[in-house]
């Protein structure tokens, strides 16, 4: 194998350490402890594990964690009342409503009810509008983590051809906009794209966020590409076993790519690290204190 493995686990630990140091400094200078509220509706087992991890890491960096587990039967009005309560609580600086919600129609309404300055997911139209127009705001955690890994691997991204596979509001769209803001030439491809391999083969940077196990194969890439694999797919193995794989077939691309994030241990740990980064940033915005960790 010739591709370098991009160690997201180690990089994320470094981000969390910087957040922890800045959190301690904020406490010492202003007597402020950032607080992150997470709202989980219903009982999706994968979301429950994710929320448990978030709580542990929030406390590890010295922030306050507020957790609300509401039943799947929670009405839109009840959920909006919870968001209102958190918007008015000065101890809560960041609000995350875990998606998907049991009722898909509630998602945009609930997200847009969050105070944009507390929107640590960066999903509110105010924050997505800021990202689209190149203004400073809160940026979605997974694409922010991908960008940090890309800059650490490649330095300046200006002029590079980036191809993003996927157009979700959580990853694909904000990722394309972040790369455009870095002066990349950006192509977004998705399930309806014709001749998808012709597009991905032109990429200097390939971000795979399609949610399709091992979709990217050897003939999808050009030599020297840097690949960020956002996919986390559990696939069945014989004898009732299973394993996690990304959207990229690692064995196939290993000889040709210059660098790639592994699954697990690549992008996954960066998401929570960036959530903590965003919670610190949100706290600084609300108290009009300069953010010590840059954009």
Distance CA 264, CA 229 (A): 10
Distance CA 183, CA 205 (A): 13
Query: Binding segment for ligand GUN among 54-62, 90-98, 173-181, 254-262 (CB under 6 A)?
Result: 90-98
Task: Considering the complex, state which of residue 142 and residue 176 has its C-beta at the smaller distance from ligand GUN.
Answer: 142
Number of helices (H), then strands (E), belonging to the chain: the values are 10, 11
Chain mean position to CA 181: 17
Residues 243-282 that bind ligand GUN (CB under 6 A): 271
Residue selected from 119, 121, 229, 247 as contacting ligand GUN according to rule CB under 6 A: 121
**Smallest gap, in angstroms, from Cβ of residue 8 to ligand GUN?**
15
Element (H, E) at 250: helix 250-253
Q: Report the chain's C-alpha Rg in angstroms.
A: 19
**Smallest gap, in angstroms, from Cβ of residue 141 to ligand GUN?**
5
Question: Nearest to residue 1, comparing CAs of 267, 251, 291?
Answer: 251
Residues 152-171 that bind ligand GUN (CB under 6 A): 170
Chain mean position to CA 152: 17
Kindly state the tokens that stand for 274.
């960036």
Query: Binding segment for ligand GUN among 96-104, 182-190, 202-210, 243-251 (CB under 6 A)?
Result: 96-104
Number of residue whose CB is nearest ligand GUN? 99
Does 32 engage in binding with ligand GUN (CB under 6 A)? no
Query: Binding segment for ligand GUN among 20-28, 92-100, 151-159, 177-185 (CB under 6 A)?
Result: 92-100
Kindly state the tokens that stand for 115.
């105070």
Cβ atoms 221, 257 nearer than 8 A = yes
Q: Which residues bind ligand GUN (CB under 6 A)?
A: 96-99, 121, 141-142, 170, 271
């Amino acid at each position: 194998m010739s591709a370098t493995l991009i160690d997201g686990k180690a990089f994320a630990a470094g981000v969390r350490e910087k957040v922890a140091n800045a959190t301690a400094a904020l406490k010492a200078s202003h007597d402020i402890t950032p607080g992150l509220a997470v709202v989980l509706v219903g009982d999706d087992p994968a979301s429950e594990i994710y929320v448990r991890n978030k709580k542990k890491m929030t406390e590890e960096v010295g922030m306050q964690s507020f957790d609300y587990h509401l039943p799947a039967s929670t009405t839109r009005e009840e959920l909006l009342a919870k968001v209102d309560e958190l918007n008015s609580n000065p101890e809560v600086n960041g609000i995350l409503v875990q998606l998907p919600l049991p009722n898909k129609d509630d998602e945009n309404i609930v997200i847009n009810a969050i105070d944009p300055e507390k929107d640590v997911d960066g999903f509110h139209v105010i924050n997505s509008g800021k990202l689209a127009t190149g203004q400073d705001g809160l940026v979605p955690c997974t694409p922010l983590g991908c960008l940090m890994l890309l800059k650490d691997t490649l330095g300046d991204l200006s002029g590079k051809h980036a191809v993003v596979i996927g157009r979700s509001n959580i990853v694909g769209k904000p990722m394309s906009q972040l790369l455009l803001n870095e002066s990349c030439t950006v192509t977004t491809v998705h399930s309806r794209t014709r001749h998808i391999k012709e597009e991905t083969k032109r990429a200097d940077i390939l971000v795979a966020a399609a949610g399709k196990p091992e979709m990217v194969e050897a003939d999808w890439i050009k030599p020297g590409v840097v690949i960020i694999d956002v996919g986390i797919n559990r696939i069945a193995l014989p004898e009732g076993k299973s394993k996690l794989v990304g959207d990229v077939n690692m064995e196939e691309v290993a000889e040709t790519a210059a660098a790639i994030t592994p699954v697990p241990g690549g992008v996954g740990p960066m998401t929570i690290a960036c959530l903590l980064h965003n919670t610190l940033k949100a706290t600084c915005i609300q108290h009009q204190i300069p953010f010590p960790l840059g954009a």
